[in-house]
Amino acid sequence: MAEEIKKRVIRVILNSALLVVLAVALNITIPSALAIISLIPKEGLSLSTALMLLLITVMAFQALRITLDLVRLVDLTSDFIVKYIPGLKVEGRISVVKALKEVIIVIILILLTTALFPIFLLVPEFGPWLTIGLSVISITLSIILIYDAGKTLYAVFQSGLEFFIEKLMESRRPERET
């Protein structure tokens, strides 16, 4: 798993660098891309507009690859983190309790971060840097845990819905046979 995390991080960094280089070299931002697209119905499709549209499409697919890699990276990281937090390891089954524990951990993490801010600001010279670091770590862990809790609750909801549909279909079958 650690090897795949390294691979995904490298892919995200390289793809992000490529996207930034393309955006800077072509001077394309999201508003300018939308402006180019909105010009097509008014002025028609010229060769330069078609080329810019092709480059915007390439950049959109690059952004999609980055997003998909980030989602998989968050999945792997949440599995890795959850494995080491006591009481959250669930062997092969979906657990609402696990999701609730993750939400409680996020709330505790937010409260601790809020309580530690004033203390970290008192440290001379490094205070602001410590608070920024604490914020980044807190936000990252919170996002990962909330994502994992949401994924767990979605799986519970989906399995419950499938069970309900299956029971509904079974109750309808005897009526058709008679």
10-residue mean pLDDT profile of the chain (178 residues): values are: 82 90 81 77 76 84 86 76 64 67 85 85 82 86 85 78 78 61
Closest CA to 1 of 87, 77, 82: 77
Share of the chain above pLDDT 90, in %: 2
- Does residue 27 sit in helix, strand or coil? coil
User: What count of Cα atoms within 13 Å lies in the side-chain half-sphere of residue 96?
Assistant: 5
pLDDT at 14: 92
DSSP result, 75-128:
HHHHHHHHHHSTT---SSS--HHHHHHHHHHHHHHHHHHHHHHHHHHTSTTTHH
| pLDDT of the residue at 13 | 92
pLDDT tens-digit readout, 60-108:
888 888 888 887 887 777 777 767 766 556 555 567 777 778 888 888 8
Return the domain boundaries, the chain: 2-84, 96-177
Residue with tokens 């697209």: 37
